[in-house]
């Protein structure tokens, strides 16, 4: 591969990867400009490296190099660098490699520290050179490349751009560097210039090799088998040797791995050693310590996103109370899925005295019958006669499983219940009219026994480090049902799952509370049959509605399918998003894609359509999609301390208004304290406070310029002092670049002044990091809190301009990396994407917009809708957010569906994932009307849309 005649620039090339790249480019015939802060060698330096040493090595290999002393923290140095290349090479620059990085020592010194434990200067230390400088270099380089109509920009990034690595500033910076390549590619592709992000693997840099002996064995092995510093250079030479027209077809804007390029271009490292892609299964096995297994795997199979279908073969399960009803349905489904199922009950032999008059004592059901049905479906079952009122029976049950299964128990289903007959006989009685014995009748088996079973099961599961406990509960845990002992027992049962999950999660054991709907048990069907035989027995409207509910209810096997679906998931997945929660069978059916045994779709009891039908509004219910659900949250924010940055107008003001109305004490910031009569858009701290107070809320205004670190520091010191260290919610919303974005619309990034980066991202990214540091220090002290970053779809795809998109992608990643460090401390971090928002600026320019864009905003969200979404999140227990939302990007439209939110005037806001929304925005209005709002593009498709690989 020859690069003869090409002009290349490698920033930060005095040692490490940058030096290796420069050596390979020089050896391939290119004229290589190299930069660094150190011109002359420093004898005795721990690691060393200088411009002159790199030049000498390049020239020793027959290459040509030009060294430029440049501190990439200084914009003036960078500007002079490109002026020199422009002058000496007559405007030619074929390749820019953005490699300079000044934070290696800092990262090593701060390993193990959380972001809030670091000084806020950590952001600048890591990302001034490693991100901001790369943007500035790319601006100057692009101006030269665009002029000639060809060129290539390579950003040296890492796997830290995908997952948490080292610390938060590092990961956010690398994600932004990857996004920088993606967004630059959008603007540069039509000008003949390609931009890619390159991920080397584990590289044997000078710093790494000098510390090799101090590393743990597994980490040492990774680097011992890693890439030399010149291997990335070989990959870049291969890219630079490829016609740019070819790169523009299939590589520009993507993240490329050196190991994958090695396969594509047949590259070898020093000593002709093959370097494995980090996607290679062989690589993964080898670095996980399974070297013997890796030896059997070819290098070419690589990881993809395909899931695995799991059976329950070999798993040991226990279902208590499985002679009939829900317990029997669960046991049958588990057995059919291949599990070894222990079933318990009081009745061993069949009882042939079934009646059809609703007498629950005569329903029948036995251990032998359940075992026989499981075996008839090809499963394995072991019946154990057990009276769950008798502690000795329960103890012997678990001793038997312990003995027969060598201590293995994968799943316990707490289902046994002995009070069905007592509840039926006392229907309509108040609790003081019943015998006090009713408490024991309902809750000795239905609550106390489940605790005892869970104790014995947990001892076995903890020993093996894995397991799942499912409590079969009901909606009686939420509101009054049947009688007082029943509802109290179910609420306690749900709480049992939550509290057990706290103690068991660290031991690898998940605990879930499961709510079936109206289940067609033998008892329920007998009651329905009796009512059909004698309608005069049914006098109350509520009884008629209940009967209809059971006629169309779930089969017992449907509950079994839900349990089987959960048991088939890796416990690690359940621990991440479901343990400690209440789950509904119908919602699990939607999630895992199963229906009832007769093919029916079961509607969630949270569905508005379900509730309307239950209360007699059948006609209205037919108009409501099943996806619209009543929210679980109904808690006010009374007593919560919240901070919304940038709240004088727009989305920030809308959020502050909603939080104040919900009862929170809201701190708001802005640069303008007093109203400015005649201002085009207006907005001030005092106006926002007045509106919050007019709604009965409480607000505290703090004048703060978020470009000034000292102002930000004083803001948090004030909250710390006034609220005794309490801050429950931080909303990172401040943004100072709206005008710049509007004025620069249509301009390419190289046509803008380099100050555009700072204008967009000093407040909109860097400041959010600093605010989060100070907020996290307060939240960590109290062990709870929520941080919400206001982002946008610009975090996924190109929008407005390069600095905007890179900033939003970094902001989304910031939430993800915050979550890694904050989750163990009880703090959630989320990135929120509103849709098209009717801000003051937008509405003032509405008449000037093209028809399609105008329609989008006319149908868009009000500024308060994002506030409603944040109130919903802030009303949700943080423990719940930590299970399934922290670290994620959430859409206001999706939260509206989840929490049952409506915008002003009761208007439904469609998710931007909605097919109807997309069709409307594309102008296909007639077709859009035929599509229900709940039909959405899957979330994984958004990930594919934004994929950099």
Cα separation of 199 and 153, whole Å? 14
Does the structure show a pLDDT above 70 at 609? Answer: no
Residue 232 pLDDT exceeds 50: yes
Round to whole Å and give the CA distance between 342 and 907: 52
Rounded CA separation 610/797 (Å): 38
Query: What's residue 379's pLDDT?
Result: 87
Kindly report, residue by residue over 631-673, the tens digit of the pLDDT.
444 334 667 899 999 999 999 999 999 999 888 899 999 999 9
Q: Distances from the Cα of 498 to the Cαs of 470, 505, 822, in angstroms?
A: 11, 10, 20
Q: Which residue has the higher pLDDT, 760 or 274?
A: 760
If you average pLDDT over residues 856-871, what whole number do you get?
A: 87
Concerning whether 804 is annotated as a catalytic residue, the answer is yes
pLDDT at 691 over 70: yes
Q: If 0-12 CB within 10 Å is exposed, 13-18 middle and 19+ buried, where does residue 713 land?
A: middle
Q: Are 87 and 1 in contact (CB under 8 A)?
A: no
Q: Which residues pair with 833 in a beta bridge?
A: 891
**Stretch 724-737: mean pLDDT, rounded?**
93
Q: Would you say how long the chain is, in residues?
A: 949
In Å, what is the CA distance from 289 to each residue of 97, 178, 203, 209?
A: 34, 30, 19, 21
Please write the tens of the pLDDT for every residue from 618-629.
555 555 565 554
**Sign (positive or negative) of CA dihedral 699, 703, 707, 708:** negative
Encoded tokens for 243: 């016609």
Q: Are 323 and 419 in contact (CB under 8 A)?
A: no
| CB 512 within 8 Å of CB 581 | yes
- Whether the per-residue pLDDT at 822 is higher than 90: the answer is yes
Mean per-residue pLDDT for 400-425?
Answer: 90
- pLDDT, tens digit, for every residue of 867-880? 999 999 998 889 88
The residue written with tokens 């980066």 in the block is 757
Considering just the CA atoms, what is the radius of gyration of the chain in Å? 32
pLDDT interval class at 76 (50, 70, 90): very high
Q: Which two tokens stand for residue 53?
A: 């040493």
Q: Which pTM does this prediction carry? A: 0.62
Residue with tokens 């509904």: 584
Task: Tell me the domain boundaries of the chain.
Answer: 7-281, 316-351+363-517+555-598, 520-553, 602-631, 641-897, 910-948
Chain centroid to Cα 763, Å, comes to: 24
* Cβ atoms < 10 Å from Cβ of 611: 16
Cα maximum dimension of the chain: 104
Second-level CATH architecture of 7-281:
3-Layer(aba) Sandwich (3.40)
pLDDT tens by residue, 443-502: 888 888 988 999 999 999 999 999 999 999 987 766 567 777 787 778 778 878 887 888
- Using the predicted structure, report yes or no on whether residue 607 has a pLDDT greater than 70: no
Q: Among residues 33, 774, 798, 804, which one is catalytic?
A: 804
**Residues with Cβ within 8 Å of residue 807, at least 6 apart in sequence:** 176, 760, 761, 764, 765
- How confident is the model at residue 355, as a pLDDT? 42
Question: What percent of the chain is predicted at pLDDT more than 90?
Answer: 45
DSSP-based three-state secondary structure for 194: strand
pLDDT tens profile 112-138: 888 888 888 888 998 999 999 999 999
The continuous run of DSSP H or E covering 512 comes out as: strand 509-515
Q: CB count, 10 Å around CB of 707?
A: 16
Is CATH 3.40.50.720 the classification given to domain 316-351+363-517+555-598?
Answer: yes
User: Which of 274-283, 692-701, 811-820: highest mean pLDDT?
Assistant: 811-820
Of the pLDDT bands very low, low, confident and very high (cuts 50, 70, 90), residue 932 is: confident
Answer positive or negative: Cα dihedral of 671, 650, 629, 565.
negative
Please tell us whether the domain made up of 641-897 is placed in CATH 1.10.3720.10: no
Q: Same CATH fold, 641-897 and 316-351+363-517+555-598?
A: yes
Token pair recorded at residue 1: 């591969």
Contact 559, 514 (CB under 8 A): yes
Residue 271: count of CB within 10 angstroms of its CB: 6
Is 294:318 a contact under the CB 8 Å cutoff? Answer: no
Q: Looking at the predicted structure, is the pLDDT value of residue 59 above 90?
A: yes
Q: Does position 946 have pLDDT exceeding 70, yes or no?
A: no
Exposure pattern of 302-326 as b/e (b: 16+ CB <10 Å)? beeeeeeeeebeebbbbbbbbbbbb
* Mean pLDDT (the chain, rounded): 84
* Sheet strands side by side (includes 193-199): 64-69, 31-36, 7-10, 95-98, 151-156, 193-199, 255-257
Provide the pLDDT for residue 696.
Answer: 75
């Amino acid at each position: 591969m020859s690069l003869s005649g090409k002009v290349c620039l490698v920033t930060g090339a005095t040692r490490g990867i940058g030096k290796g790249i420069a050596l390979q480019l020089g050896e391939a015939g290119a004229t290589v400009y190299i930069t660094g802060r150190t011109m002359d060698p420093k004898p005795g330096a721990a690691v060393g490296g200088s411009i002159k040493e790199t030049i000498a090595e390049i020239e020793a290999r027959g290459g040509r190099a030009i060294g430029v002393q440049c501190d990439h923290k200084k914009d003036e140095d960078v500007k002079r660098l490109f002026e020199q290349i422009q002058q000496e090479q007559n405007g030619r620059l074929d390749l820019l490699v953005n490699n300079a990085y000044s934070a290696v020592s800092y990262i090593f010194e701060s390993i193990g520290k959380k972001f809030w434990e670091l000084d806020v200067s950590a952001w600048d230390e890591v990302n001034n050179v490693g991100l901001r400088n790369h943007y500035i270099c790319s601006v100057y380089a692009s101006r030269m490349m665009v002029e000639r109509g060809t060129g290539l920009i390579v950003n040296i990034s890492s796997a830290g751009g995908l997952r948490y690595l080292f610390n938060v500033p590092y990961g956010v910076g690398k994600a932004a560097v990857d996004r920088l390549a993606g967004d630059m590619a959008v603007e540069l592709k039509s000008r003949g210039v390609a931009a890619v992000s390159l991920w080397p693997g584990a590289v044997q840099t000078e710093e790494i090799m000098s510390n090799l002996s101090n590393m743990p064995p597994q980490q040492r092995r990774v680097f011992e088998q890693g890439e030399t510093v010149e291997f990335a250079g070989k990959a870049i030479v291969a890219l630079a040797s490829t016609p740019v027209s070819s790169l523009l077809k299939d590589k520009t804007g993507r993240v490329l791995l050196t190991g994958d390029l090695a396969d594509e271009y047949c590259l070898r490292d020093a000593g002709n050693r093959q370097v494995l892609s980090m996607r290679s299964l062989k690589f993964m096995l080898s670095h996980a310590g399974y070297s013997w297994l890796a030896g059997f795997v070819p290098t070419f199979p690589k990881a993809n996103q395909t899931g695995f279908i799991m059976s329950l073969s070999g798993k040991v399960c226990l279902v208590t109370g499985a002679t009939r009803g829900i317990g029997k349905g669960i046991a049958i489904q588990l057995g059919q899925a291949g599990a070894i199922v222990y079933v318990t009950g009081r009745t061993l032999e069949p009882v042939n005295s079934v009646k059809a008059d609703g007498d629950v004592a005569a329903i029948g059901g036995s251990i032998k019958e359940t075992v026989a049905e499981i075996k008839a479906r090809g499963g394995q079952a072991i019946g154990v006669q057990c009276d769950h009122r008798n502690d000795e029976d329960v103890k012997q049950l678990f001793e038997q499983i312990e003995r027969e299964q060598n201590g293995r128990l994968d799943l316990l289903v707490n289902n046994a219940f002995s009070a069905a007959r007592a509840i039926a006989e006392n229907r309509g009685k108040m609790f003081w009219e019943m015998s006090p014995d009713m408490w024991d009748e309902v809750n000795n088996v239905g609550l106390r026994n489940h605790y005892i079973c869970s104790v014995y099961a947990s001892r076995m599961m903890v020993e093996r480090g894995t397991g799942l406990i499912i409590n079969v509960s009901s909606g009686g845990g939420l509101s009054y049902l049947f009688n007082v002992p029943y509802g109290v027992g179910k609420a306690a049962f749900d709480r049992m799952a939550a509290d057990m999950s706290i103690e068991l999660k660290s031991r690898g054991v998940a605990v879930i509370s499961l709510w079936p709907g109206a289940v067609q048990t033998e008892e329920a069907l007998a009651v329905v049959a009796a009512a059909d035989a004698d309608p005069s027995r049914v006098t109350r409207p509520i009884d008629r509605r209940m009967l209809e509910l059971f006629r169309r209810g779930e089969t017992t096997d449907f509950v079994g399918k839900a349990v089987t679906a959960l048991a088939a998931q890796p416990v690690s997945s359940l621990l991440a998003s479901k343990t400690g929660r209440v789950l509904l069978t119908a919602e699990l059916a939607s999630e895992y894609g199963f229906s009832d045994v007769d093919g029916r779709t079961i509607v969630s009891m949270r569905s508005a359509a379900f509730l309307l039908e239950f209360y007699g509004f059948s006609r209205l219910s037919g108009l409501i999609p099943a996806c619209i659900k009543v929210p679980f949250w109904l808690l006010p924010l009374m007593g919560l301390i919240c901070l919304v940055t940038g709240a004088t107008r727009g989305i920030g003001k809308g959020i502050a208004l909603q939080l104040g109305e919900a009862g929170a004490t809201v701190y708001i910031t802005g640069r303008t304290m007093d109203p400015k009569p005649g201002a085009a858009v207006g907005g001030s701290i005092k106006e926002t406070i007045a509106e919050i107070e007019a709604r009965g809320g409480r607000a505290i205004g703090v004048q703060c310029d978020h470009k000034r670190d000292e102002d930000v520091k004083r803001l948090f010191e004030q909250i710390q002092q006034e609220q005794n260290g309490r801050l429950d919610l931080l909303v990172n919303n401040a943004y100072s670049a709206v005008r710049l974005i509007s004025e620069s619309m249509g301009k390419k990034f190289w046509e803008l002044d380099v100050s555009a980066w700072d204008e967009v991202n000093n407040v909109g990214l860097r400041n959010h990091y600093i605010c989060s540091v100070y907020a996290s220090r307060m939240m960590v002290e109290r062990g709870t809190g929520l941080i919400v970053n206001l982002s946008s779809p610009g975090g996924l795809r190109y929008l407005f301009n390069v600095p905007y998109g890179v900033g939003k992608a970094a902001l989304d990643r910031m939430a993800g990396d915050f979550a890694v460090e904050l989750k163990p401390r009880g703090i959630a971090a989320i990135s929120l994407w509103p849709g098209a928002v009717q801000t003051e600026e937008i509405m003032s320019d509405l008449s000037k917009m093209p028809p399609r864009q105008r329609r989008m905003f006319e149908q868009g969200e009000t500024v308060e809708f994002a506030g409603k979404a944040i109130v919903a999140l802030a009303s949700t227990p943080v423990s719940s957010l930590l299970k399934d939302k922290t670290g994620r990007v959430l859409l206001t439209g999706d939260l509206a569906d989840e929490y049952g939110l409506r915008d002003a005037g009761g208007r439904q806001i469609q998710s931007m994932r909605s097919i109807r929304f997309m069709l409307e925005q594309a102008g296909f209005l007639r077709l859009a009307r035929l599509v229900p709002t709940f039909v959405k593009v899957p979330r994984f498709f958004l990930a594919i849309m934004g994929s950099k690989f």
